[in-house]
A and B are shown apart, each in its own frame.
Chain A
Amino acid sequence: ETGVTQTPRHLVMGMTNKKSLKCEQHLGHNAMYWYKQSAKKPLELMFVYSLEERVENNSVPSRFSPECPNSSHLFLHLHTLQPEDSALYLCASSQAKRGDEQYFGPGTRLTVT
């Protein structure tokens, strides 16, 4: 595997379910990001982790809970979501020291019913 991978690629969940999105990067990076991509809206930054510590949380509702157990893995835990949370969730990684050149995974298409 190379680059940034995300699983699952598609997820349908009810509002009372609990699920997790997984991201793994194989680039030797030490910063990871979660973005949300909704129709007709710009990509929105949700969380930033640098060296496994959360450095940014962009006023994201508590029903989204990130976890970064090591520099290669990033999770987004979901619980009691709303239909408006349906979107493409994208993971990205970069070198924390340079703070740029972010590389994205293919995304998880989430549908909340």
Chain B
Amino acid sequence: GENVEQHPSTLSVQEGDSAVIKCTYSDSASNYFPWYKQELGKGPQLIIDIRSNVGEKKDQRIAVTLNKTAKHFSLHITETQPEDSAVYFCAATYSGGGADGLTFGKGTHLIIQP
């Protein structure tokens, strides 16, 4: 089955700086890679995703890159703000057109220092 490793487990950055979270996956058949943000007391919220037919996707201050050969993908947050503080999870799955469960990384606690 799929195995997803996520690093770092905790990341502290100054407000305004950039943050990068990295994940690797084991199953070369995986083709869908979402990123979730989880705030205290809430469920995970989908913030961006990427499919294996593209190498990069951007949405305002958030971008995700995918390297299929190396089997790793990364989340980039620029111009960080206090509201970006949360736990971020990467995930991977083979999206075959049915209902497919996600395999998650262990999460990164992102702390934005004022």
Contacts and interface: CB of A to CB of B under 8 A. Distances in A.
Q: How large is the interface on A (under 10, 10 to 19, 20 to 34, 35 or more residues)?
A: 20 to 34
Interface string A69-113: 000000000000000000000101010111111111111000000
B114 interface: no
A56 B34 contact: no
B34 A101 contact: yes
Contacts, number: 75
B73 interface: no
A62 interface: no
Interface in B26-43: 32, 34, 36, 41-43
A31 interface: yes
A interface SS class: strand
A49 B106 CA distance: 24
A58 interface: yes
Interface string B30-65: 001010100001111110010000000000000000
Given A4-B43, A107-B43, A102 B97 contact: no
5 contacts: A33-B99, A42-B105, A43-B91, A99-B32, A102-B46
